[in-house]
């Protein structure tokens, strides 16, 4: 025993040194070991001659509930024995020099110096995060006693769906999690997906932040670090708050975690679950816990994977070179230039057509490696992990490389547990130098990107005489051959220290101290040879090329202290938790833009000729939040539960008169399965009814709205020109740049939730249904002030808007086959969410926003946001169309007043449809036969509508100069009495007869997507043992392999969507 311990200690030491743990953590550990005399040979304190204790009486109790503990192994000297049912044991004539040691399986061992009477409390070992308890990050309650709406997903469940990102997998376990990928950005590995829970409680940032030129917005960081969760929340106000091991992070940082390191994710959805989070809880909370080291012998585990990504171009139906030539010919493009037709045709005949879509794409092969070590004893455990994740994108040169390191140390001294977790991340995110994918979809197939003689990439594809002027066409792929650069690099170091003190008698205290710092640099370089500068006149020759560099630092510090108490008195069980925390974030950024580069090869920022802008773009934002909470949960006989929570948040973001935002919740649940009349029931294993009500808050608004601020004129002072030195400084002039709203308070969301959890048929069937209604009010919106108020260059914000959501979410799992002896399982699952969203109040700023979105300066070929009280946030507003007039070929519209017209007018827009689906969710099935498991998982949306932008951009508004959708050739109006779907062909649709947003292109947007197909095989123990492995598992997975889309429109505009195949191997030695 002794030997094992000391080797572990020395190993721990060397490991600690290696990993440069925080000094104090080491000291504390070492000191505690030495001081407490962990080793049994520690001599007695006093050198009094050996004393003998006549009768040694020992009682052992459980530290948590104070109950007597039987069968505790007690040894003293050569005497040993077990406690009885009362937790009692006694020994006769014991020498006082011997320590008394105690051990019981499931409990931490302990020891005491011998004295006549000993009362000892043993601490229960915490279970390895059993799903049956819900830890909402502040406190832990048994699942049966928790009245809130929460979902816990284990890491292994996540890995069934995705091998890279937990975001894609969450929806399969909770339909409330809505993950959206912007159609423009596709599966770009460097774009963060959008995540929200249930419905949107906020207007998008574009409608809530005054962004007129010249407006000073010091309250949000520009070019913020990706871990700046304050800026992230302002930009994505509907995003839930993410916590990793109890510390808040931005979504991007959460996604940086290797999915193999995730222990579990807890999704908190309603007021009862999130009210204690106060302003951070309004959009829901997602808690991520990473793996903790397991005690025991040193374990080494490795998991590796190789993934192949390729672009999914199935939605692209562009014309081939021949089709395009025929289309051009048919529509008279070559009427005056037959020789151009001939030369293009010759080109195609000679060297074939170019597949432009393939040009910037590749079959990308990425890999991921994770090596983890852990081990230790029950009093001291440690873990180390190294991970390298190279995600390569389907566009050439697009990648995201993550290198991370984690060191974990946990030690227990009696009933105090101390954990320290240090992580380091280094990320290099690079965008493709080939630029935006849509450029390639515009290129005509008859253009050849290569020089016919040298075979090298050419810059100029063709120059044609168009409407009397020479129009050059440049090769976008040429930029990919240059030193074009768009990269973001950052490193983040974070340390979290937890102290848990189990005080006994049901009391527990835990403390948290966390610090993180992320330093980030963006480097964007457009070389002077870039096609962007191709048309620069000789006079502007030295203005070509641009280098943008931005440096940012984000730090966050958090300290928290929580006290817990639980007590069982007869059938009554109560839990009390209270605590407080203080969080500070600091964000700084400075960006410079340099232009005037002479050569593509001189890529350093030093080679530029001068600044683009007079001053660097800089900003600094500091926020502070003090948060206090309390919760009281009561359960009677495990049948009836009631709980109340309260929170008081005070933030530097609030107005002076509103520095505390209170939040509360109340919940109740009824465990019907615990009722006597249900217990005998063979069908129902679990049946719970839950209900909760309460408020949560929000902080996704600009900092400093509660401050009055000034700036100084930096280029003039109020003195006479030529004044002498005596006037220095006295003429400085200051002016207002912000005026405090002293009564600004955080928006509040009033939430109601009811839910049913059921498990039936020996837990073969599980059903979970939640229905909710929530209203966010006091949303912070700018006020459009008349100029005479003096509010110019800055805006006044007030609590004005309100949005309501209601909906229902369900999850059903059914085990079709559950043959335990033969190890054959077959499960199916389906879930769905229905959400209705309604704007309840707006401000005059939103009215102006709507009006501005009707301006013809804005791109009216796309639906523009419009927020009207009583309507949903996601409405599609378009002018009602009666189709193409068979006689004239013009589109006929219905005006707002109901009359017909052929003139499109933005003022005639009405709500046509809603982009939010009636139902969205997932379904899937999995089979396990002995060592083989396989599954297929789909996500779907039903009853959604969308605007077919491809029909607008690539058919009717298309220019004959560029490639178009295949549909551009057919269905066009040619002559009177044609019943056509599309307007007549024109040389440049957008110029001659633009098609602005019309109900004609609003279409069904339902889809079913095969999100994942997976198969894995655990090698038999026998084989694993041969290679000295404890376990060995290999897996194959395909993501987004195929889908069915109701709307035939191009998907992945600037970056395509990807199909991904992963081969993985996991082993533990």
Partner 1 sequence: MNKSMRVTKLFYTVTALLLLSLTACKKWLDLETPSQVDQDAIFSKEQGFEDVLNGVYLQMGSQNMYGRDMSYGLLSVLGRSYDTTITSAIGKLYFQGAQYNLQDDSVRIIARNIWAESYKSIGNINNLLANMDSHKQLFTGTNYNTIKGEALGLRAFLHFELLRLFAPSPAAAGFTVAAIPYMTKISPYKVVSATTGAVLDSCIADLKVSESLLSESNLKTYRFTIWATRGLLARIYLYKGDKEHALSYARALINSRKFPLADGNSDLMFSKEHLFSLYTSQNNITNLYPTVFNPDLSLGFSPGNQTSLFVAGSGLSSDWRKSFVDPKTGTAIGNTIAPRKFYNNSTSPNNANTATPLIRVTEMYYIAAECAADNNDIVYATDLLDSVRWHRNVKKDLTANLSTDSLNTEIRKEYQKEFLGEGQMFFFYKRKNQPFASLPYTRVPLVAGATYVFEKPE
User: Of 523 and 617, which has the nearer Cβ to partner 1?
Assistant: 617
**Distance in Å, CB of 617 to partner 1, minimum:** 11
Three-state DSSP class for 650?
strand
d(CA 249, CA 253): 6
The verdict on 717 binding partner 1 (CB under 8 A) reads yes
Instruction: Specify the stretch interacting with partner 1 by CB under 8 A; choose among 77-85, 598-606, 650-658, 800-808.
Output: 650-658
Query: Is the Cβ of residue 116 or residue 731 nearer to partner 1 in the bound state?
Result: 731
CA distance 833 to 50: 74
DSSP string, 657-705: GG-EEEEEEEEEEEEGGGSHHHHT-SSEEEEEEEEEEEEEE---S-TTT
Is position 699 an interface residue for partner 1 (rule: CB under 8 A)?
Answer: no
- Residue 744 binding partner 1, by CB under 8 A: no
Kindly state the helix (H) or strand (E) to which residue 626 belongs, with its residue range.
Answer: strand 617-636
**Which of residues 499 and 760 has its CB atom nearest to partner 1 in the complex?**
499
Residue 216-235 contact track with partner 1, rule CB under 8 A, x = bound: x-xx----------------
Query: Contact, 644 vs 665, CB < 8 A?
Result: yes
Site track 800-829 with partner 1 (rule: CB under 8 A), x = hit? ------------------------------
Residues in region 875-914 near partner 1 by CB under 8 A? none
Comparison of 657 and 900: residue with beta carbon closer to partner 1: 657
| By the rule CB under 8 A, 350 interacts with partner 1 | no
Contact stretch for partner 1 (CB under 8 A) within 19-27, 211-219, 341-349, 767-775? 211-219
**Matching residue, tokens 């997906």:** 193
Under rule CB under 8 A, residue 650 binds partner 1: yes
DSSP code of residue 1020? P
Stretch that binds partner 1, among 17-25, 289-297, 792-800, 948-956 (CB under 8 A): 792-800
740 touches partner 1 (CB under 8 A): yes
145 binds partner 1 (CB under 8 A): no
Verify binding: residue 636, partner 1, rule CB under 8 A. no
Q: Which of 791, 849, 1054, 1057 binds partner 1 (CB under 8 A)?
A: 791
952 is a site residue for partner 1 (CB under 8 A): no
Q: Where are the alpha helices (DSSP H) in 148-286?
A: 155-161, 166-170, 229-235, 251-256, 271-274
Q: Which positions ≥6 away from 106 have C-beta within 8 Å?
A: 124, 125
Size of the site for partner 1 (CB under 8 A): 65
Tell me whether residue 846 or residue 1029 sits nearer to partner 1 (CB atom): 846
What lies within 8 Å, CB to CB, of 634 at 6+ separation is 572, 573, 574, 575, 641, 642, 643
Tell me which of 591, 628, 694, 875 binds partner 1, using CB under 8 A: 628
CA-derived radius of gyration, the chain: 33
Q: Please report, as residue ranges, which positions from 557 to 586 form the binding site for partner 1 (by CB under 8 A).
A: 563, 565, 578, 580, 582
- Among residues 205, 64, 52, which one has the least CA distance to residue 126? 64
753 Cβ contact partners less than 8 Å away, ≥ 6 residues apart: 148, 149, 269, 270, 271, 272, 690, 691, 692, 693, 770, 771, 772
Cβ–Cβ < 8 Å for 620, 588: yes
Q: Does 616 bind partner 1 (CB under 8 A)?
A: no
Question: For partner 1, which is the closer residue by CB, 433 or 579?
Answer: 579
When binding is defined by CB under 8 A, the residue of 24, 40, 386, 710 that contacts partner 1 is 710
Q: Of 245, 249, 235, nearest to 280 (Cα)? A: 249
Contact call for residue 783 and partner 1 (CB under 8 A): yes
Select the residue interacting with partner 1 from 159, 564, 690, 707 (CB under 8 A): 707
Shortest reach from residue 711's CB to partner 1, in Å: 6
Among 24, 541, 712, 1044, binds partner 1 (CB under 8 A): 712
Nearer to partner 1, 453 or 721 (CB): 721
Q: Are strands 1058-1068 and 296-311 parallel, antiparallel or unpaired?
A: antiparallel
Determine which residue in the list 97, 626, 910, 980 makes contact with partner 1, applying CB under 8 A.
626
Q: Is 718 in the site for partner 1 (CB under 8 A)?
A: yes
Q: Which two tokens stand for residue 917?
A: 């689906």
Question: Closest distance between partner 1 and the C-beta of residue 657, in Å?
Answer: 12
Residue 790 interacts with partner 1 (CB under 8 A): yes or no: yes
Between 81 and 586, whose beta carbon lies closer to partner 1?
A: 586
Which member of 135, 557, 658, 659 binds partner 1 (CB under 8 A)?
Answer: 659
Tokens of residue 684, six digits: 């129902």
- What does the block give as tokens for 754? 């009811």
Kindly state whether residue 716 participates in binding partner 1, applying the rule CB under 8 A: yes
CB of 565 vs partner 1, minimal distance in Å = 8
Residues 877, 866: Cα–Cα separation, whole Å: 7
Residue of 524, 598, 737, 813 that binds partner 1 (CB under 8 A): 737
- What distances in angstroms separate CA 289 from CA 152, 263, 797, one per listed residue? 11, 5, 37
Out of 789, 975, 992, 1021, point to the residue binding partner 1 (CB under 8 A): 789
Instruction: Give the contacts of 350 (CB within 8 A, at least 6 positions apart).
Output: none
**1002 CB-side CA count, 13 A:** 24
Beta carbon of residue 650, minimum distance to partner 1 (angstroms, whole number): 6
Q: How far is the CB of 709 from partner 1 (least distance, A)?
A: 4
Residues near 380 by Cβ (< 8 Å), separated by ≥ 6? 8, 9, 12, 29, 410, 411, 412
**How many beta carbons lie within 10 A of that of residue 715, not counting itself?**
6
Whole-number minimum distance, CB 455 to partner 1, in Å? 53
CB of 732 to partner 1, least distance (A): 5
Contact between 731 and partner 1 by CB under 8 A: the answer reads yes
711 sits near partner 1 (criterion: CB under 8 A): yes
Element (H, E) at 439: helix 438-442
423: closest CA among 906, 22, 800?
22
* 622 near partner 1, rule: CB under 8 A: yes
Stretch that binds partner 1, among 197-205, 469-477, 511-519, 784-792 (CB under 8 A): 784-792
Which residue stretches of 110-228 are H helix? 155-161, 166-170
DSSP state of 445: T
Interacting span for partner 1 (CB under 8 A) from 87-95, 293-301, 357-365, 703-711: 703-711
Distance (Å, rounded) from C-alpha 176 to C-alpha 919?
Answer: 11
Residue 736 in contact with partner 1, rule: CB under 8 A: yes
When asked if residue 551 is in the footprint of partner 1 (CB under 8 A), the reply is no
Please identify which residue in 487, 719, 761, 812 interacts with partner 1, judged by CB under 8 A.
719
To the nearest whole angstrom, how small is the minimum distance from the Cβ of residue 561 to partner 1?
9
DSSP 786-850: -GGGT--SS-EEEEEEEEEEEEEEEEEEEEEEEETTTTEEEEEEEEEEEEEEEEEE--HHHHHHH
Question: Taking CB under 8 A as the rule, does residue 505 contact partner 1?
Answer: yes
- In 3D space, the residue among 450, 601, 594 whose CA is nearest the CA of residue 529 turns out to be 601
Among 23, 734, 856, 907, binds partner 1 (CB under 8 A): 734
Shortest spacing between CB 653 and partner 1, in angstroms: 9
Identify which of 244, 240, 321 has the alpha carbon closest to the alpha carbon of residue 288. 244
Looking at the Cβ atoms of 218 and 1043, the one nearer to partner 1 is 218
Sequence-separated (6 or more) residues with CB below 8 Å from residue 417: 410, 411, 498, 499, 500, 501, 502
Residues that bind partner 1 (CB under 8 A): 216, 218-219, 505, 507, 563, 565, 578, 580, 582, 618-624, 626, 628, 648, 650-652, 659-660, 703-704, 707-713, 716-722, 730-740, 783, 785-793, 795-796, 798
């Amino acid at each position: 025993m002794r030997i094992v311990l000391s080797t572990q200690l020395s190993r721990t030491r060397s490991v600690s040194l290696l990993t440069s743990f925080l000094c104090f953590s080491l000291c504390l550990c070492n000191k505690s070991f030495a001081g407490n005399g962990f080793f049994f040979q520690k001599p007695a304190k006093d050198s009094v001659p050996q004393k003998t204790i006549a009768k040694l009486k020992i009682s052992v109790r459980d530290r948590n509930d104070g109950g007597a503990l039987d069968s505790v192994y007690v040894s003293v000297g050569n005497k040993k024995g077990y406690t009885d049912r009362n937790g009692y044991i006694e020994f006769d004539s014991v020498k006082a020099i011997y320590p008394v040691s105690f051990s019981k399986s499931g409990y931490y061992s302990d020891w005491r110096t011998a004295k006549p009477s000993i009362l000892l409390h043993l601490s229960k070992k915490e279970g390895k995060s059993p799903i049956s308890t819900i830890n909402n990050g502040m406190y832990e309650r048994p699942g049966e006693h928790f009245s809130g709406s929460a979902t816990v997903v284990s890491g292994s469940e996540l890995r069934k769906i995705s091998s890279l990102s937990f975001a894609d997998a969450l929806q399969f376990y909770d339909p409330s999690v809505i993950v959206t990928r912007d159609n423009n950005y596709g599966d770009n590995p460097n774009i963060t997906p959008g995540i929200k829970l249930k419905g949107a409680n906020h207007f998008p940032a574009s409608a809530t932040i005054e962004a007129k030129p010249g407006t000073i917005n010091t309250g949000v960081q520009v070019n913020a670090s990706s871990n700046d969760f304050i800026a992230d929340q302002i930009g994505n106000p509907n995003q839930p708050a993410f916590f990793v091991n109890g510390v808040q992070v931005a979504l991007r940082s959460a996604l940086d975690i290797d999915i193999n390191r995730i222990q579990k994710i807890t999704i908190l959805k309603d007021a009862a679950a999130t009210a204690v989070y106060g302003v951070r809880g309004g959009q829901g909370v997602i808690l991520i816990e990473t793996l903790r080291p397991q005690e025991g012998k040193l374990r080494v585990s490795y998991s590796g994977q190789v993934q192949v990504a390729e672009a999914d171009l199935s939605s692209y139906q562009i014309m081939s070179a021949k089709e395009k030539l025929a289309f051009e010919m048919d529509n008279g493009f070559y009427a005056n230039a037959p020789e151009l037709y001939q030369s293009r045709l010759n080109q195609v005949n000679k060297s074939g057509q170019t597949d432009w879509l393939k040009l910037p794409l590749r079959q990308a092969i990425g890999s991921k490696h994770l090596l983890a070590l852990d081990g230790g004893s029950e009093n001291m455990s440690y873990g180390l992990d190294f991970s390298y994740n190279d995600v390569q994108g389907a566009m050439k040169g697009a990648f995201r490389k993550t290198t991370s390191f984690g060191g974990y140390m946990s030690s227990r001294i009696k009933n105090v547990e101390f954990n320290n977790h240090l992580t380091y991340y280094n990320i290099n995110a690079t965008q493709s130098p080939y630029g935006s994918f849509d450029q390639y979809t515009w290129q005509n197939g008859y253009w050849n990107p290569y020089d016919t003689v040298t075979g090298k990439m050419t810059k100029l594809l063709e120059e044609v005489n168009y409407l009397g002027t020479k129009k050059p066409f440049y090769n976008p792929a040429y930029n990919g051959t240059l030193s074009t650069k768009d990269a973001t690099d950052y490193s983040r170091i974070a340390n979290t220290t937890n102290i848990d003190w189990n005080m006994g008698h049901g009391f527990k205290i835990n403390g948290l101290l966390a610090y993180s710092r992320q330093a980030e640099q963006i480097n964007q370089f457009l070389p002077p040879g870039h096609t962007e500068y191709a048309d620069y006149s000789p006079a502007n020759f030295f203005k070509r090329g641009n280098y943008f560099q931005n440096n940012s630092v984000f730090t966050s510090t958090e300290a928290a202290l929580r006290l817990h108490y639980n007590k069982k008195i007869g059938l009554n069980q109560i839990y009390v938790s209270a605590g407080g925390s203080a969080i500070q974030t600091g964000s700084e950024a400075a960006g410079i833009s340099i232009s005037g580069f002479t050569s593509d090869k001189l890529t350093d920022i030093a080679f530029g000729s001068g600044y683009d802008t007079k001053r660097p773009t800089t900003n600094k934002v500091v926020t502070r939040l003090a948060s206090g909470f309390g919760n009281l949960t009561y359960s009677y006989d495990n049948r009836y539960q009631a709980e109340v929570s309260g929170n008081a948040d005070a933030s530097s973001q609030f107005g002076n008169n509103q520095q505390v935002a209170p939040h509360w919740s109340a919940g109740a649940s009824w465990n019907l399965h615990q009722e006597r009349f249900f217990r005998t029931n063979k069908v129902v294993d679990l049946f719970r009814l839950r209900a909760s009500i309460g408020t949560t808050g929000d902080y996704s608004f600009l900092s400093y709205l509660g401050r009055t601020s000034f700036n100084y004129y930096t280029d003039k002072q109020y003195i006479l020109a030529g004044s002498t030195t005596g006037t220095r400084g006295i003429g400085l002039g200051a002016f207002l740049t912000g005026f405090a709203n002293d009564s600004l308070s955080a928006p509040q969301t009033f939430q109601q939730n009811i839910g049913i959890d059921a498990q039936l048929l020996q837990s073969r069937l599980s059903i979970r249904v939640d229905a909710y209604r929530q209203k966010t009010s006091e949303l912070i919106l700018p006020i459009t002030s008349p100029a005479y108020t003096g509010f110019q260059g800055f805006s006044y914000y007030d609590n004005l808007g309100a949005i309501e959501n209601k909906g229902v979410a369900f999850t059903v799992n059914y085990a079709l086959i559950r043959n335990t002896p033969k190890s054959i399982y077959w499960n199916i699952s389906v879930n769905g969410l229905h959400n209705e969203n309604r704007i309840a109040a707006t401000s005059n700023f939103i009215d102006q926003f709507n009006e501005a979105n009707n301006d013809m300066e804005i791109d009216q070929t796309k639906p523009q946001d419009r927020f009207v009280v009583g309507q949903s946030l996601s409405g599609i507003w378009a002018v009602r169309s009666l189709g193409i007039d068979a006689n004239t070929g013009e589109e006929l519209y219905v005006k707002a007043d109901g009359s017909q017209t052929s003139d499109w007018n933005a003022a005639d827009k009405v709500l046509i449809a809603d982009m939010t689906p009636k139902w969205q969710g997932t379904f899937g099935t999995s089979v396990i036969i002995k060592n083989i498991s396989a599954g297929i998982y789909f996500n779907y949306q039903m009853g959604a509508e969308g605007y077919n932008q491809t029909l607008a951009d690539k058919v009717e508004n298309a220019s004959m100069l560029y490639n178009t959708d295949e549909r551009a050739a057919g269905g066009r109006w040619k002559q009177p009495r044609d019943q056509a779907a599309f307007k007549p062909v024109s040389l440049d649709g957008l110029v001659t007869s633009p098609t602005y947003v019309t109900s004609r292109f609003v279409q069904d947007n339902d889809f079913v997507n095969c999100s994942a197909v997976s198969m894995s095989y655990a090698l038999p123990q026998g084989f694993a043992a041969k290679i000295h492995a404890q376990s060995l598992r290999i897996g194959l997975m395909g993501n987004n392999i195929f889908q069915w889309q109701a709307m035939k429109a191009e998907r992945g505009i600037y970056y395509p969507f990807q199909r991904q195949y992963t081969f993985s191997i996991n082993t533990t030695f």
